[in-house]
Amino acid sequence: MGKMAEKIVELIDEKKVDERIHELAGIISRDYEGKEVRLVGILKGATFFMCELAKRITVPVSIDFMQASSYGGATESSGTVRIRKDLDESIEGKNVIIVEDIVDSGRTLAFLGEFLRSKGAASIRYCTLLDKPDRRVVHLTVDYTGFVIPDKFVVGYGMDYDEKYRNLPYIGVIEFDD
Ligand code: IMP
Ligand code: MG
């Protein structure tokens, strides 16, 4: 058995991603008018999305990061979520938006939402670039969604396969052939 070859097939091009992030930032800016927002990005996948989003939000923004993991190097979730990096700043009294690259089973966001709910935030909402609702095992209401996509493993715009392809400026589906 040789090493499998990987191929990336474009799913959402760079222009569409940028336009949609611009739209989401507009909606968030209107929803939080007169307030400040604390964006909490989930490392590492959400970083590219969060930067672009933050740059276009017009109300005052502060940022922080958490890292959780339910995935190893493979494309299937392990079912358990661990916190690898906690917040650096208190969220007490803050209007928090948790920013994620993709919601799959929903376990990561549900777990982090619960975790942050005990920290005294004024409000907590969820924002994700991509949503794969077919794969959901945990009930979750996402407040801001970039794109709903089919049940395919995607890479690019921060998302990886075995730490590769995060830097692609578009979103692609990874395909394997031998
Ligand atoms: P969940 O906890 O099952 O919702 O998984 C969410 C996390 O799994 C995301 O933060 C991603 O890191 C990872 N993930 C889920 N689906 C994909 C995918 O299609 N490509 C890359 N990473 C994914
Ligand atoms: Mg992730």
State pLDDT tens for residues 63-102. Answer: 999 999 775 545 555 678 889 999 999 999 999 999 999 9
Q: Tell me the pLDDT of the chain averaged across its residues.
A: 93
User: Model-level pTM greater than 0.85?
Assistant: yes
Q: How far is the CA of 102 from the centre of ligand 1 (A)?
A: 5
Predicted pLDDT at 90: 97
CA distance 109 to 68: 9
- For the question of residue 104 being annotated catalytic, the response is yes
Peptide bond just before 35 cis, omega within 30 deg: no
Q: Which residues line ligand 1 (CB under 6 A)?
A: 42, 45, 70-71, 77, 100-108, 153-155, 159
Rounded Cα distance, 81 and 96, in Å: 20
Count CB atoms within 10 A of the CB of residue 55.
11
pLDDT at res. 86: 96
Amino acid in position 39: L
Give the atom of ligand 1 at the shortest distance from the alpha carbon of 161: 21
Of 3.40.50.2020, 3.20.20.120, 3.40.50.920, 3.30.390.30, the CATH number of 6-70+78-176 is 3.40.50.2020
Selected catalytic residue, list 31, 101, 104, 162 = 104
